[in-house]
Structure 1
Amino acid sequence: MSAVLWLLIALPLGGGAVLALTGPRRGGLVPAAGVAAAVATLGAAVAAALTRPKASAPLFAGMEAGLAVDGLSAVMVVTVAAVTTAVLAFAVGEFAAHENRGRFFGLMLLFAGAMLVTVTATTLPLLLMAWEVMGATSWALIGYWWRQPERAEAADVAFLTTRAADLGLYLAAGAAMAGGIGSLRLDALPDADAPWLHVITAGVVVAALGKSAALPFSFWLSRAMQGPSPVSALLHSATMVAAGAYLLLRLVSLLDATAWAGPLVAWTGAATALVLGLVAVAQTDLKQLLAASTSAQIGFMVLAAGSGGVAAGTTQLVSHAATKSALFLAAGAWLTALGTKQLPALRGAARVHPLVGVAFAVGALTLAGLPPLSLWAAKDEVLAAARTESTALYAVGLAAAAVAAVYSVKAVWYVTRPLPADAELGYDTEERGTRRVAGSTPAPLLALTFAAAVLGVLALPGPASWLKGLVGAQGEPSPEPWELGLSAAVALAAVGLAWRWASRPASAGLSRAAVRWTHGWLYLERAARLVVVRPVLGLARTLADFDDRVVDGAVRQTARGGLAAARLARRLDDGGIDAGVRAVATGARSLGRWARRPQTGLLHQYYAQAAAGFAVLVLIILLVR
């Protein structure tokens, strides 16, 4: 059965690589090939979910690259593959023929493949590899129109923010090795020795919160809206932002192994759900509203993980994936047709394109948490888990659910208004609209909308018990009838108030500063630049200056000293040693010349020289005596 698992990974990764390499060539065949690869991947995902295969391969000494489909990952692989298929089917009609559709469809499949490896990985090294590929492909997809500087900058901000948080996984891997977990298996991480256990947990939490755009990392999701609408529909529904929440749900046992991690994660999730919900209320750009609501909805998943609600978080994740991908596709369809995503300019858009409007309205009301739609039941599952941990957590979560109703109804109010007489004047703020909906839009949009409406069945007593058994969370609490009634009443009341006050200016009842702060995503990016980026760049400049002046300066001074010593040695060599050698040679030559003078070859001169020598010798003897 491991062949099914390898096929599940190989289909999107191999197909994506091939399509990405085709470039702009064969542009007409690329969309069909991309959708075919996604459909095949969905088939493999269903087969893997039914058979639960496992596979492994040697990686390093004492360490394997392991893959497995268990209960939790079975839900995830089907969700990821289904959303990918729907989004790619929608994207068939979204790009002009002259654009590099091979690169787009290839990167989308590569990204989906990396996400499938992420949710099936059983060892930390393989998870890290997939995590990195997911980050790199998301950067390329957000900056797909890279010739536009603002889009390229947005991709850089999103990538660098998540990349900084990703360092937590490397920290966790190093701490796991130091803590005695040589295999780096995910299920063995809670068994690490102290204090390394706390370091592992901290690294995992930081990486997960960064990838899921939870506080304080939420601002990168605002920048990511510069990407094409299909990218937003995939990355910010079932894949990238869900990856961090999935990791926390997968490693609930790691959070439970420390006293501080669970409460920290739960409160971070609750704060994200409430605060980013308020940010969504203040937005006038539809995609920015949906982005902020994504962070808020991911906050519920993080809250569930911190509260130990694995089944609750899974229900929220799956329901949100279908709902948010449908909403992003509807927003993308309007952007293509009308050339704008500004809510004031989208007045009456649901009347201009009724099918898209119906799908958007159903998705938005699902996002609002209205009964009996899926996110109503899913949120109650999360809130039931939170209530077992803290009444205060439950109260904050309930308040966040009310805010969700407000920002959802705000969007519905705009798009369902009567069409103004001068509607055309508000169009084409981002691009030139086509004034029509592509033929590839209805099928995936309606399929996702239907799923968004009915997936709440997972919270019904029978299916909920099945899901809890599937993910190994049989002891999780279920919402009491009064909790279901209370959340429904809160959502309906919030919807009524929001509809009543939707026509008022965004600043009504709020201070101008509050509106500015929420509309600007709490200026978290500015704070990150001030608190993190500037000090890091300042430190880098200081270290570079230290390197230039001290380290490089010492090297240069050492080199200069070496050159000076070499010049001195050369002078000593030329003026001393070589001069002495030359003097000895000159003296030897002179002695040789003097020694050759007596050698005349005349016998009588030799006799005379011998007689003179004997005379000198006798004289010396006489003098010495």
Structure 2
Amino acid sequence: MNLALWLLVATPTAVGVLLAVVGAVRKTAAVQSAAGLLAVSTSAVVLVLAVAVAVGRPSVQAPFLPGADATLAVDALSAVMVLVVAAVTPLVLLFATGDLGSDDARARFFGLMLVFEGAMLLTVTATSFVILLAGWEVMGATSYALIAFWWGKPAAVRAANVAFLTTRAADLGLYVAAGAALAGTGSLALTALPAASGGWLHVATAGIVLAALGKSAQLPFSFWLSKAMEGPSPVSALLHSATMVAAGGYLLLRVRPTLEATEWAGPSVAWIGAITALTLGAVATAQHDFKQLLAASTAAQIGFVVLAAGVGATAGGTMQLVAHAAVKSALFLAAGAWLTALGTKQLPALRGAARRHRVLGTAAVVALLALAGIPPLSLWATKDSVLAVVAEQSLALYAVALAAAGLSAAYAGRAIAVVLDRHLSVPPAEQVEEQPAGRVAGRVTAAVVVLAAAGAILGVQALPAIQERYADSLGGGAVAPGPAELAASGLLAVAVATVVVVRRRGHVVPAGRLGAWLTGWLALEPAAMRIAVRPVLALAHGLAVLDDRLLDRGVVAFPLLIRTLARRLSAADDRMLDRAVDGSAALTRRAAEGTLRRGEAAVDGSVGTVA
């Protein structure tokens, strides 16, 4: 079983690297067409391995540094996430085989997607900072390559830069946390963090929270998720559902004991999650682009996971992650299918889209109903599992979270109203983003149907027996929502969605400055430019000027100083030392001559005396 755990991580990573390298070297049609089949087959093998390790719960260890071994393990929480990642990936890759264009970059795409999967599996099975940082870094680097997959489009490259640099800035917190953990505990094991001494516990916790919020696009980092929509639709589906964006929420659930040990971290994280769910839900209602709506809703829905980690509702947060992965991957794939078939993802141009391709449209509407929280679909029960714990701790926090749940029904209802509209729209030329294919491949529809069905079936998580099983396995937040709470939240979702669909026909976008502010993602990117980027660039410019005017001149002046000093010393040597030598020689010569004369006189005197 230990071998299965190593293979779980190594298989997609190795095959992915092989595909990317071979695809770059051999760009033949045969290699590119075979890449998709190999990728889907590999992900199917990974799914089998995931089931094996989820059942067997192995743990493996490799020496790295004294007190800092590289360790992987599967427990109840990581078993759930391993299954989610491994189950969603093959369906996303199957979709990509039918949706991706037949250009010479298919092998690179499928290779990067497999490496992306391997990085997430490494992250969720990590029990030490050594492995966690490795998975975290590879995931970030691969996301950059996937968002900028169409590197010939300047917008895609710029978007990848924003996404990478934003998450990268937050990732620095994880390095700070690792250093603080080693200083405070003498170990890099995640389980040792609550016992960190002195202020190291608070430093480590702050670093982890910062990194997790950045990865999961929580406030104030949410804007990078909007930029990530420049990538291919399968990338969006995997990134938003089961990998990178989910990783931050998962990490906070993993380190819940550490959050609790600090006293301040839990409430702070809970409020950030709730406010993100509320504000990004409002952002989602204002979007005119379907993928942008889904992106904002991702930040909002993961906000419930972050909220769960903050209040200790580990079971509810995990259920929310599972349900959201199925629902959101289905919706992003549906958006990609409509983009391919109709040439647009603009909501005004998608009117009646569900009626054009009925099987695909039905699956998408089911997923949207689940996103709205309509009973008995999945995201109805999971939110209430979180809210039940929140209500026990803070009524103010509960009110914010409940309002966020109502907004879920609003933005999902808006999308439903558009795609089910009886008046089919023909996209105007300015809203056509690519040449429409006019059809949807069978495997594309199949992938969306399976994921949407999973999003519906996962409503069984509302059953008391299932909730008790989650609570017993994961611990924390064992408060289950009662029938009255479930009924109330279900009625709220139905009422809000009905108002939006029937009365407003999807026109719920606020007008004026508020609408522009929400459509522009709360102006978070310009704010980040003013608060962080420009001051840093100004500091860098100042240091560059200092370097040019002081350090560079110092470097240039120092040899000149040495040369001048050498010249002066040389002149001094000529004037003083040489004269001293000459003077010494003259004195010596005079002394010798005097001695010689005295010697001659003495000899002559002696000779005269003898004579």
TM-score band, normalised by shorter chain: over 0.9
1:213 aligned onto 2:237:
no
Match for residue 449 of structure 1?
452
Select the residue among 12, 35, 38 that pairs with 2:40: 35
Instruction: Mark the CA change 1:415 to 1:504 in structure 2 (over 3 Å): closer, same or farther.
Output: closer
Aligned counterparts of 1:551 and 1:239: Cα–Cα separation in 2 = 46
Query: Is the CA contact (8 Å cut-off) linking 2:286 and 2:519 kept in structure 1?
Result: yes
The Cα shift of 1:321 comes to 0.2
Is 2:521 aligned against 1:521? Answer: yes
- SS of the equivalent of 1:59 reads strand
Q: CA offset at residue 448 of structure 1?
A: 0.4
Counterpart of 1:154, as a letter, is A
Is residue 112 of structure 1 aligned with residue 117 of structure 2?
yes
Uncovered stretches (5+) of structure 1, i.e. residues with no partner: 595-608
Instruction: Decide whether aligned partners of structure 1 residues 465 and 89 sit closer, same or farther in structure 2, where only a CA change above 3 A counts.
Output: same
2:419 and 2:500 mapped to 1: Cα distance? 14
Structure 1, residues 357-410: CA drift from partner, whole Å, max 9, x if none? Answer: 111100000000000001001111011111111111111111111110010011
Figure out how many residues of one structure are paired with residues of the other and give that number. Answer: 601
Q: Distance in 2 between matches of 1:100 and 1:237?
A: 24
Check whether the contact 1:286–1:342 (CA below 8 A) recurs between aligned residues: yes
1:426 is displaced (CA, Å) by 5.3
Quote the Cα distance in structure 2 between the aligned partners of 1:492 and 1:150.
39
Instruction: State the Cα deviation string for residues 441-477 of structure 1 (Å, max 9, x = none).
Output: 022111101100011212311111112222234x610
Contact 2:76 2:473 (C-alpha < 8 Å) held by counterparts: yes
The answer to whether 1:489 aligns with 2:481 is no
C-alpha spacing 1:79/1:504, structure 2 compared with 1 (3 Å): closer
* Equivalent residue number for residue 105 of structure 2: 100
Task: Supply the distance in 2 between the matched residues of 1:519 and 1:170 (Cα, whole angstroms).
Answer: 34
Q: CA deviation at 1:103?
A: 1.0
Which residue matches 2:366? 362
Task: Supply the AA of the counterpart residue of 2:114.
Answer: L
- Identify the range of structure 1 (347-356 vs 7-16) with the bigger mean alpha-carbon deviation: 347-356
Opposite residue 376 of structure 2, the aligned amino acid is: P
- 1:553: how far off? 3.4
The letter for the 1-side match of 2:115 is L
Query: Which of these residues, 142, 145, 148, is aligned with residue 143 of structure 1?
Result: 148
Q: Which residue of 2 aligns with 1:548?
A: 548
Distance between the aligned counterparts of 1:296 and 1:545, measured in 2?
A: 43
Tell me, in whole angstroms, the C-alpha distance in 2 between the residues paired with 1:74 and 1:126: 17
How far apart, in 2, do the equivalents of 1:377 and 1:200 lie? 33
Task: Deviation per CA, 1:219-265: give whole Å up to 9, x if none.
Answer: 00000000000000000111111000000001111111011111111
Paired letter, 1:541: H
Pairwise CA distance, 1:578? 5.0
Please name the residue that 1:530 is paired with: 530
Following the alignment from structure 1 to structure 2, what is the Cα–Cα distance between the partners of residues 104 and 590?
95
1:605 counterpart residue number: none
Equivalent of 2:166 in 161, 169, 181 = 161
Contact 1:338–1:427 at 8 Å: present in 2 too?
no
State TM-score, norm by structure 2.
0.94
Contact 1:71 1:472 in 2 (8 A): no
Q: Distance in 1 between matches of 2:506 and 2:87?
A: 39
Largest Rg, 1 or 2: 1
Say which is worse superposed, 546-555 or 264-273, in terms of deviation. Answer: 546-555
Secondary structure, counterpart of 1:436 in structure 2: coil
User: Which digits, 9 at most, give the CA deviation of each residue in 1:581-607, with x for residues without a partner?
Assistant: 689899999999x9xxxxxxxxxxxxx
Q: CA deviation at 1:428?
A: 6.2
Partner residue of 1:389 out of 390, 393, 398 = 393
Shift, 1:431, TM fit: 1.1
Task: Give 1:115 deviation, angstroms.
Answer: 0.4
SS in structure 2 of the partner of residue 555 of structure 1: helix
Map of 1:602 onto structure 2 = none
Deviations 1:251-292 (A, max 9, x none): 111111011111111111110111000000000100000000
Partner amino acid, structure 1, of 2:261: A
8 Å contact from structure 1 (residues 349, 419) kept in 2:
no
Is the CA contact 1:339–1:427 (under 8 Å) kept in the aligned structure 2? Answer: no
CA distance in 1 between counterparts of 2:451 and 2:122 reads: 23
2:469 alignment counterpart = 466
> Aligned ranges for residues 492-511 of structure 1 at < 5 Å?
492-503=494-505, 505-507=507-509, 510-511=510-511
Q: Which amino acid in structure 1 is aligned with residue 231 of structure 2?
A: G
Alpha-carbon RMSD: 2.6
Contact 2:92–2:447 (CA<8 Å) still a contact in 1?
A: yes
1:366 partner SS:
helix
Give matches, 1:222-371, under 5 Å: 222-371=226-375
- More displaced 10-residue stretch of structure 1: 291-300 or 99-108: 99-108
Q: Separation in 2 of the partners of 1:14 and 1:429?
A: 38
1:440 and 2:443 aligned: yes
Identify the range of structure 1 (569-578 vs 298-307) with the bigger mean alpha-carbon deviation. 569-578
